[in-house]
Copies of this chain bind each other. A is one copy, B any other.
Amino acid sequence: MKIEINRSSHVPLAQQIYQSFTDRILSGYFPSGTRLPSVRQLAKTLQVSPVTVMQALDLLEKQQLIERIQGKGIFVAVKNNVETEEPEEEREDGSLFLQIPDYLHRTQQMYYNQVLAQINFSSPIVHPDLLPTEILAQSISQLVQKEPEILAQYGEIQGDIELRQALAHYLMNEGIKVSPQDILVTNGSQQGIDLVARCFLGPGDIVFTEEPTYTAAIDIFRSRGATVIAVPVDQEGMRIDKLTALLDTYTPKLIYTMPTFQNPTGYVMNQKRRRELIDLTRHINCLILEDDPWSEIFFDQSPPLHLKAMDRYGNVIYLKGLSKILSPGCRIGFMVASDMILNRLIAAKTNADMGNPLLNQKVILPIFQSQWIRRLLKELRESLKQKRNLTLQLLKEYAPPGMSWLTPKGGFNIWITLPKGANTIELLSMCKQKNISFLPGSACFPSDIEWNHLRLSFSNVDEEEITLGIKEMCMVIGKYLSSLDRQKGQTPLF
């Protein structure tokens, strides 16, 4: 077991140890019932005082992540582990796994990706029926007949030049003026986050994120040894006032934000805050990573300008995934950054995989070249709005008291809040038995975890399943909340 401790960090040691164990427990790395080493052993391994270990354990116990059983030891609590589809085999003591420590202690994205049920409200991806599969299939057939040689060629590491030209043109309409050499093609937008992290974040570096935020982003930043500092969000986006206050204590190297239809909340950062965020970076030497998975999927009016469109100092990196809105089978994303920054990102891409497959880039090319993309997005907006409306209508009808949400104005998700005291990891275990899955909100909190939220993605589920799923789920939630209520006795939850 390797727990990295940063002794020069502003974060107290006990908090760091607490964080490390939390990451491992919630990622299924330490499954329920795992016996942890004793206080003395931990103090020795971690080279800290037993008092510090005790403080960390207190925090873990308070969060109900561990249980201390008198005379027996310290164990990972049962309630915060979801059984994954392929339960891990019994680990022999002293197995290689534990002997060769790794650097990936927070892998909640992987963990919840293994808990997908038939009615899958977990994955913010588009239902296959809504994607331009036929057009892509045609494009491919024509392509390999006309240019079979693309199968035998490596592409440019930075990405196919024709595709970059088409993307630059597409971005122009989005208010982002770039040339093809400012663009780097990636293997989905996830790789974009990863490339930025591996370039610019290392042990002890500070990254600011919204709280809650995208699970995998936290996983990635933490795997680099970076310290993730959470900035609260409200309906108008990241709280710039809070961010400013945090600057007194921390100097971030990166600010990671999803300004439009934020994942998981669906909130949109308003124009004023966008401007403020950009202006802030004039005074601090810091990059902004603007993650834009689905700003095109707006249901009322189009969202404010992209941060990149307002970028004055060349330190905004714009990141866009196309898997979600176009073709998961092709896995294409891309990023835009200024010269010096992009040069480093290309170096990272070279190390990572020597470039995207050429085939897939050529496949989606005609969709951008022909402006089909506009029509497709329009259709997608309409279909997803229908799904959202149906989901909201069903929630309104069937939700038990205590369940609350806001109407998302775009994107693929609804962020649902249950009363304090509820734990949506427990709830997920119950829903799984009804073949329903969602993402527990706890996976989206980098530090002070809130347990009573869940993210419901309506994009990947057809109307029949939405109807069935929401009804069932509301029933399970109702039962769950009543049982909590009974447990608490006289103190009603709502």
Contacting B at CB under 8 A, from A338-354, are 338-341, 343-344, 346-348, 350-354
What is the CA–CA distance of A219 and B353 in the complex, to the nearest angstrom?
A: 12
Contact of A136 among B151, B199, B202, B341 (CB under 8 A): B151
Contacting B at CB under 8 A, from A306-364, are 313-315, 323, 327-331, 338-341, 343-344, 346-348, 350-360, 363
Task: Indicate if A303 sits at the interface (CB-CB under 8 A).
Answer: no
Chain B residue contacts of A129, Cβ below 8 A: 152
Stretch of A188-196, A290-298, A465-473 at the chain-chain interface: A188-196
Task: Indicate if A1 sits at the interface (CB-CB under 8 A).
Answer: no
Contact of A358 among B148, B315, B329 (CB under 8 A): B329
What is the CA–CA distance of A151 and B194 in the complex, to the nearest angstrom?
A: 24
- Interface range, A side: 35 or more
Contacting B at CB under 8 A, from A163-188, are 186-188
Number of copies: 2
Task: Indicate if A144 sits at the interface (CB-CB under 8 A).
Answer: yes
Contacting B at CB under 8 A, from A199-214, are 199-203
A404-421 to B contact mask, C-beta < 8 Å, 1/0: 000000000000000000
Task: Indicate if A41 sits at the interface (CB-CB under 8 A).
Answer: no
Identity of the chain B residue whose Cβ is nearest the Cβ of A147 in the assembled complex: B137
B152 near A96: Cβ-Cβ < 8 Å: no
Identity of the chain B residue whose Cβ is nearest the Cβ of A329 in the assembled complex: B151
CB distance from A356 to the nearest CB of B (A): 7
Stretch of A102-110, A377-385, A387-395 at the chain-chain interface: A102-110
**A198-B223, A341-B96, A350-B109 known; A131 and B151 CB under 8 Å?**
yes
What is the CA–CA distance of A286 and B219 in the complex, to the nearest angstrom?
A: 25
**A144-B141, A199-B103 known; A357 and B344 CB under 8 Å?**
no
A104 near B199: Cβ-Cβ < 8 Å: yes
Contact of A352 among B145, B200, B327, B352 (CB under 8 A): B352
Chain B residue contacts of A190, Cβ below 8 A: 351-354
What is the CA–CA distance of A91 and B91 in the complex, to the nearest angstrom?
A: 54
B328 near A358: Cβ-Cβ < 8 Å: yes
Chain B residue contacts of A329, Cβ below 8 A: 150-155, 357-359
Identity of the chain B residue whose Cβ is nearest the Cβ of A197 in the assembled complex: B351
Chain B residue contacts of A331, Cβ below 8 A: 353-357
B357 near A152: Cβ-Cβ < 8 Å: no
* Nearest 4 A/B pairs, CB to CB: A97-B340, A128-B152, A151-B329, A137-B144
Which A residues form the contact surface with B (CB < 8 A)?
A: 4, 88-89, 91, 95-97, 99-104, 107, 109-110, 113, 123, 125-126, 128-129, 131, 133-134, 136-137, 140-141, 144-145, 148-155, 157, 186-188, 190-191, 194, 198-203, 216, 219-220, 223, 225, 253, 285-287, 313-315, 323, 327-331, 338-341, 343-344, 346-348, 350-360, 363
Q: Beyond A103-B200, A216-B351, list 17 extra A-B contacts (CB 8 Å).
A: A96-B340, A97-B343, A99-B285, A100-B286, A102-B344, A104-B344, A113-B157, A125-B154, A126-B152, A137-B148, A188-B353, A190-B353, A194-B352, A329-B358, A331-B353, A353-B353, A357-B357
A-B contact pairs, 7 of them (CB 8 A): A100-B286, A103-B201, A131-B152, A150-B329, A155-B329, A187-B353, A188-B353
